Amino acid sequence: MKKYDVVIIGAGPSGIIVGITGKKQNPQKSFLMITEKEKGLVPCGIPYLFHDLDDVKKNQMGPKGFVDAGGELLIDRAEKLDAAEKIIQTAGGESVQYDKLVFATGSVPTVPTFIEGYDLDNVVYIKKDFDYIAEVMQKTKSAQDIVVIGGGFIGVEVAEQLAKFSTKNVNLVEMEQHCLSRAFSPSATIKSDELIRQSGVKLHCNQKVNQILGEKGKVKAVQLSDGSQLKADVVIAAIGYRPNTKLAQNSGLEINSNGAIQCDNYLRTNQKDIFAVGDCSSTSGFITGRTDNIMLASTATAEARILGYNLFNIKLIRNFPNTISVFSTEINQVAFASAGAIEQVAADAQIDYVVGKFSDKDRHPATIADSSDLCVKLVVSPGDGKIIGGEMYGGKSVGELINVLALAIQKQVTVYEMVGFQIGTHPLLTTAPTKYVLIKAAEQAMAAIARQ
């Protein structure tokens, strides 16, 4: 039986980054990655396959970087773990021994078994699977009436892409009052809903899909909670993801209330020499430390880098083990992003907060040709002035400005420090130095604290 120093199960973003980082740090150690399929997809690019990219090969991703770094691949499914003997068995009949084992088995879409008709033909999911998505693309190409269930990021992004085909009738059903309501406050979601509608998607908020109706085994409509029906050649269920942890569970690893593998600050499970990283591993809220279920590629790869350094011994102390969720998306050419505790998250956790808001153009003067509105809101703890969250929308600059804010949250920057933030500005690239949006919003929050 072949033995490896490190065996990684899964070749998604977290498996690949653990593999590359770990192998570069430990070139003398042997690494094996077991992956069900060699061809993968950039998960975050999947929605854009439905129109803009239009060819599944344009969104391909795989473990080449890991192999280039000296790792070995086994295309197979890891099926059984003997933790006492440190042996992994695969569906193809291989057995390999490990010194360290990494679960990077990711997440799978939630199947709405509670909705009658979920198993009809042409009810599909946004799986992170090359061949499956290629098939879904074929189905959506020939479909005229499409219903997307779920107005989270993935549902919204997919619906917006499909609505770019003027011949298609795209309906999006969301049970909350607004789409994207887990990531943004109502002031942003009212705007994003309007943009979703303007993109051609017919939006049905405050509505549940009660039943999926079919004819000869194939979907033909969905029935909503208000009794109305929407015609459907294809139904795309985008109602969330759950950690893929069956193998871990069967192997006796501790699983938390969200179905994720429970880990400590260094991604170590309750079993010696077994780690878990990415969507399959536990996350905790950054203020409360309570169990959370954040599943993002950015978070997964951040964890994976830490684990890559610490596989054999803890070399990189993790000062900030909890998870700051940083979301971003673009709807009808307007970027939306949030980081950390937005207002409703703070309120739900009974955290005192004030907000500081500021809007301006993202270029200066505002007459510069490609300037866009830029609206920023900071969520701040009034007791000490620490920035605990924020959200923003506007032009493409939002995609990176939110990362500045995420670093400020992680470093526990206060609004008093933000006012002294030394910035670089340029007419063609940023807001004006006289009213840099993060600084102005911090001043507004300071004023709100002073008023208390």
Report if residue 20 touches ligand FAD, rule: CB under 6 A: no
- How many Cα atoms within 13 Å fall on the side-chain side of residue 400? 5
Report if residue 160 touches ligand FAD, rule: CB under 6 A: no
Report if residue 19 touches ligand FAD, rule: CB under 6 A: no
In the complex with ligand FAD, the residue whose CB is nearer, 211 or 403, is 403
State which of residues 4, 6, 8, 10 lies at the interface with ligand FAD (CB under 6 A). Answer: 10
In the complex with ligand FAD, the residue whose CB is nearer, 40 or 356, is 40
The single residue listed with the structure tokens 């065996």 is 7
Interface with ligand FAD (CB under 6 A), residue total 34
Report if residue 154 touches ligand FAD, rule: CB under 6 A: yes
State which of residues 106, 151, 152, 155 lies at the interface with ligand FAD (CB under 6 A). Answer: 106
Helices 297-310, 13-25: axis angle to 10 degrees equals 20
Residues of this chain, 123-152, that bind ligand FAD according to CB under 6 A: 126, 128
Shortest Cβ distance from residue 307 to ligand FAD (Å)? Answer: 11
Whether the bond into 47 is cis, omega within 30 of 0: no
The secondary structure of residue 256, as a DSSP letter, is -
Report if residue 111 touches ligand FAD, rule: CB under 6 A: no
Residue 7 token pair: 């065996």
Report if residue 394 touches ligand FAD, rule: CB under 6 A: no
**Is the Cα dihedral 120, 125, 128, 129 positive or negative?**
positive
Report if residue 263 touches ligand FAD, rule: CB under 6 A: no
CA distances from 227 to 92, 206, 207, 238, 342 (A): 49, 13, 10, 21, 34
Q: Which stretch binds ligand FAD (CB under 6 A): 98-106, 110-118, 225-233, 433-441?
A: 98-106
Instruction: Sort strands 169-173 and 145-149 into parallel, antiparallel or unpaired.
Output: parallel
In the complex with ligand FAD, the residue whose CB is nearer, 294 or 418, is 294
CA distance 152 to 189: 11
Residues of this chain, 214-253, that bind ligand FAD according to CB under 6 A: 244, 247
* Window 41-70: contact mask with ligand FAD (x via CB under 6 A): --xx-xx-----------------------
Residue 93 sits at φ, ψ, to 5 deg, of 90, 5
Report if residue 13 touches ligand FAD, rule: CB under 6 A: yes
Report if residue 347 touches ligand FAD, rule: CB under 6 A: no
In the complex with ligand FAD, the residue whose CB is nearer, 16 or 354, is 16
In the complex with ligand FAD, the residue whose CB is nearer, 128 or 220, is 128
Report if residue 77 touches ligand FAD, rule: CB under 6 A: yes
Report if residue 23 touches ligand FAD, rule: CB under 6 A: no
Report if residue 107 touches ligand FAD, rule: CB under 6 A: yes
The answer to whether 98 touches 3, Cβ cutoff 8 Å, is yes
Report if residue 40 touches ligand FAD, rule: CB under 6 A: yes
Shortest Cβ distance from residue 380 to ligand FAD (Å)? Answer: 25
In the complex with ligand FAD, the residue whose CB is nearer, 78 or 442, is 78
What does the buried/exposed string (b/e) look like for 45-81 if buried means 16 or more CB atoms within 10 Å of the residue's CB? Answer: ebbbbbbebeebeebebbbeebbebbbbbbebebbeb
Shortest Cβ distance from residue 326 to ligand FAD (Å)? Answer: 8
**Amino acid making up residue 277:** V
Shortest Cβ distance from residue 274 to ligand FAD (Å)? Answer: 14
Q: What pairs with residue 9 in β-bridges?
A: 34, 103
Phi-psi sector, 289: left (phi>0), alpha (psi -120 to 50), beta: left
- Among residues 342, 344, 299, the alpha carbon closest in space to that of 322 is found at 299
State which of residues 104, 263, 287, 418 lies at the interface with ligand FAD (CB under 6 A). Answer: 104
Shortest Cβ distance from residue 268 to ligand FAD (Å)? Answer: 17
First to last CA, the chain: 68
CA distances from 441 to 90, 173, 210, 340 (A): 54, 34, 43, 16
In the complex with ligand FAD, the residue whose CB is nearer, 154 or 196, is 154
In the complex with ligand FAD, the residue whose CB is nearer, 34 or 311, is 34
CA distance 216 to 441: 58
**Is the Cα dihedral 312, 317, 322, 327 positive or negative?**
negative
Per CB under 6 A, residues contacting ligand FAD are 9-15, 34-37, 40, 43-44, 46-47, 77-78, 104-107, 126, 128, 154, 244, 247, 278-279, 295-298, 300
